[in-house]
Amino acid sequence: MSGSPALNTVLKGAWERMDRQAVPVRRVGAFLLAAALTVGAASMFGTVAQADGFDWVDVIRILLIAVSGFWLAWGACTALLGVLFDPPAVPRNEEGPWSRTAVLIPVYNENTAAVFARIEAMYRSLERTGTLHLFDFHVLSDTTNPAIAEAEGGAWRQSLVRLQAGGRLYYRHREKNTGRKAGNIADFIRTSGGSYEFMLVLDADSLMDGETIVEMVRRMEAAPTLGLLQTLPQMIGLTSLFGRMLQFSAGFFSPVFTRGVAALQGAEGPFWGHNALIRVRAFAQSCGMAALEGKPPFGGHILSHDTVEAALLARDGWQVRVDPDLQGSFEEGPANLIDYAKRDRRWCQGNLQHTRVLGAPRLKAWSRISIIQGLFAYLSSPVWLLFLIASLAAPLFAPKPVYFDGRSLFPVFPHPETTVALALLFGVGALLILPKAMLLVRALLNGDARRYGGAFLLTVSVILELLMTSVLAPVHMMFQSRSVFQVLTGGDSGWPAADRDDGSLPFVACLKATWWMVLAGAAALVFAFEMTPDLFWWLAPVSVPLVLAPGLLYVTALPAIGRLSRKAGLLLTPYEVERVRLIRDMRVALDQGREAAPQVRSAAAV
C-alpha cells in the first residue's frame, strides 16, 4: 500500500486493467459453474421425482429446486472466489489527506447517549491521527419523538463542551423526514454539500476508526474516478447467543465472502448504505432519486436506496468499490431473531420495490444483476417453502404405479431412487458447508485461528454456528416468506413489543411472533405422518424447528446463555480477543454520557 507516486500510478493502472479484464472472466466463470451445479441438481432431483411417475407437480418441483439451487450455488461460487481471490494493492495518496470530509450520522429516534458516545470515540480517534482539522461531524436528525429530539440537542451541546468541538460538530433536526435517510442525506448536500469533497456516510450505530477513515480518504484522493468506497463493517457489542452468532459470522465468514463480492463486482461494487466514503460531487450529480409513482410498498420514496445509488453512480461512470482489507469499521446488530426479522421486513420491502427500477434507463447490466440478486435474497425463501409444500403434496398427485405394462409377464415395481436422493441431499449440504469448511481450514493453516480463541475453540465455534444457522433456517425462511407475502398483498400483521435494553425477549413475545409457525410445522408433521410417511424424516429437520420456534427465539435471545458462550471461549471475534482502543473509548464515553452530569464547565476545563 505504501510507495512513491510512480508506484501509485503503476498500481492505479494495474487495478484498472485487472478490473477491465479479470472481472468479466470471473463473472462468466462463476455463472457457468453455478449453472452447471444447478443443472446437475435439477436432473438428479428429476430422477428422484419421477420414481413414482412423472406429473405436473414434479415439473413445478424441478423448476423450484432449479431456482433455489442456482441461488445456493451462486453463493458458494462467491465464497469460493473469496478464498481464491487476492485483492490487488490499491493506490493511495501518500502525501495526503488534503480533502475536507463530512462525517454524516443520520439518526431517527435512536439511543441518544450511545450515538454521541460513538461520535466522541470517532472524534478522539481522528484527533490522534493529526488530521482532525479536515473533518466535520454532522448529526442529521430525523427524529420524530420530541423528547428524544430534545435529548439529542442537549447531548450535542454537552459533546461540544467535552470535545471542544465548536465548528467541527454540527447538529441539525428536520421537522419532516421527507425521503427518510436518502432524503436526509440529500438535504445535507443541498445545504452544505459544497463545503466538502467527501462524505463518510454512517448509520446511527456505526463506529469507525480514525486511521481507517484517513486511509479511505487517501485512497479516494488517489483515484479521481472513484465515486464510492465501501468498507465491511464488523458487528460488535452483542451479548445474546443469537447476537454473538451474528457477530462471529460477520467477523469470520463475511470478510472472505466480501472478497468474493469484490472479485465479482469490480468497479460496479456494492453500497450497503453506511460505513462508506462518497465523493460528494459524484453523489449529488448522479444519485438524486424522484419518488416512484404510486403508493407504498412499490411506490413512494425508494426504501433501500443504497443499491440504487450504487447503480446510479456506476451508470454515470463512477467507480463503486468495496475494499475488503479495510479494518476498523464497526456496526451493531439485532440482538434477537425478532429484531432481525423486523429489520429484514424493511429490507424485503425495499428490495422488492427495486423491481420498479430494474428497467431504469442506462443502468449497467451488472447493476441490474445486483438488483436481481437483492430480490432473490428474499424470494428464495418463499421458493423453498413452495418446494416443500409441493413435495408434501406430490405423492397425492402421483399417478398410480403400473405393475404390468404389457411388455413383460412379470410385475414391474417402481424403482426407489433413495441413493440419488441422498446424493442430492449431500450435494446441497456440501454447497452450504463447504465454503465455511474451507475458511476454517484456511484459518487453521495460516494462524488466523489465534484471533478467534485458538484452533480448537474456533473449530467448535464454526460447528456451533453451523448447527445454529441450520436450526434457525426454517424459522428465518418462514419470516421471510411472510414478509414477501405481506409486501405483495399490502398487509402487515405487526410485531410484538420486545424492546428490552439487553435484547432479551419475554416468552409471550416469542409466542406471539411465531405461533403460526408452530401450527404450520405441526400440521406439516401430522400431514406427512398420515399421508406421506416416506417424507416424514426428510421433513423433520424443517418442521421440528418450526414447532420449537418460540423456545428457540427465547433461548437464543438470553444474555445469560450468550455470556456463558463467551465464558467458554466460543463464538469469539478478534474484537473480543484483542483490546480495541476505539471500542473501549466508546464504552467509556457511554458511561460518562449516562452519568450526564451537567458540570459542563469542569468537563471543558479537563
Partner 1 sequence: MTETELKLDDIRNGLDRPDLSDAELVACLDEAAARLGLTASAEDLLARPAADADLRLAVSCLALPQPQHPMAMPEHDLVPEKSRRAASSFWSKRPVLLPLFLRKR
Residues 531-590 interacting with partner 1 (rule: CB under 8 A): none
Pick the closer one to partner 1 by CB: 284 or 455: 284
Task: Give dist(CA 259, CA 86) in Å, integer.
Answer: 8
Identify residue 253 by its one-letter amino acid code. F
Pick the closer one to partner 1 by CB: 437 or 519: 519
Task: Give dist(CA 366, CA 244) in Å, integer.
Answer: 34
State the burial class of residue 516 (Cβ atoms within 10 Å of its Cβ: 0-12, 13-18, 19+): middle
Alpha-carbon distances, residue 398 vs 63, 388, 402, 532 (angstroms):
17, 16, 12, 12
Confirm or reject binding of residue 317 to partner 1 (CB under 8 A).
no
Task: Give dist(CA 296, CA 512) in Å, integer.
Answer: 26
Confirm or reject binding of residue 494 to partner 1 (CB under 8 A).
yes
- Out of 115, 238, 280, 449, point to the residue binding partner 1 (CB under 8 A): 280
Task: Give dist(CA 259, CA 265) in Å, integer.
Answer: 10
By the 8 A CB rule, do 139 and 115 touch? yes
Q: Interacting stretch for partner 1, rule CB under 8 A, among 55-63, 152-160, 370-378, 457-465?
A: 152-160
Q: Interacting stretch for partner 1, rule CB under 8 A, among 76-84, 158-166, 442-450, 504-512?
A: 158-166
Confirm or reject binding of residue 447 to partner 1 (CB under 8 A).
no
- Out of 2, 408, 446, 489, point to the residue binding partner 1 (CB under 8 A): 489
Task: Give dist(CA 585, CA 591) in Å, integer.
Answer: 10
- Out of 170, 347, 376, 527, point to the residue binding partner 1 (CB under 8 A): 170
Identify residue 283 by its one-letter amino acid code. F
Write each residue from 335 to 364 as x if it is in contact with partner 1 (CB under 8 A), else as -, in one continuous string.
Answer: ---------------------xx-xxx---
Task: Give dist(CA 20, CA 264) in Å, integer.
Answer: 12
Confirm or reject binding of residue 418 to partner 1 (CB under 8 A).
no
- Out of 77, 115, 149, 186, point to the residue binding partner 1 (CB under 8 A): 186
Handedness of CA 36, 39, 43, 44 (dihedral sign): positive
Confirm or reject binding of residue 368 to partner 1 (CB under 8 A).
no
Confirm or reject binding of residue 279 to partner 1 (CB under 8 A).
no
- 134 Cβ contact list (under 8 Å, min separation 6): 97, 98, 99, 100, 101, 217
Pick the closer one to partner 1 by CB: 246 or 276: 276
Chain centre distance of CA 542: 23
By the 8 A CB rule, do 513 and 483 touch? no
Pick the closer one to partner 1 by CB: 33 or 603: 603
CB of 75 to partner 1, least distance (A): 28
Q: Interacting stretch for partner 1, rule CB under 8 A, among 15-23, 271-279, 287-295, 551-559?
A: 287-295
Alpha-carbon distances, residue 513 vs 73, 121, 166, 301, 337 (angstroms):
31, 37, 47, 28, 10
Identify residue 379 by its one-letter amino acid code. L
CB of 264 to partner 1, least distance (A): 24
Confirm or reject binding of residue 488 to partner 1 (CB under 8 A).
yes
Pick the closer one to partner 1 by CB: 189 or 462: 189
Burial letters 518-533, b for 16+ CB under 10 A, else e = bebbeebbebbeeebe
- Out of 61, 92, 138, 321, point to the residue binding partner 1 (CB under 8 A): 138
Confirm or reject binding of residue 31 to partner 1 (CB under 8 A).
no
Pick the closer one to partner 1 by CB: 88 or 490: 490
Q: Interacting stretch for partner 1, rule CB under 8 A, among 290-298, 369-377, 524-532, 540-548?
A: 290-298
How many residues lie near partner 1 (CB under 8 A)? 57
Binding site for partner 1 (CB under 8 A): 136, 138, 156-157, 160-161, 164-167, 170-172, 186, 188-195, 280-281, 283-290, 292-294, 296-298, 302, 308, 312, 356-357, 359-361, 485, 488-494, 600-601, 604
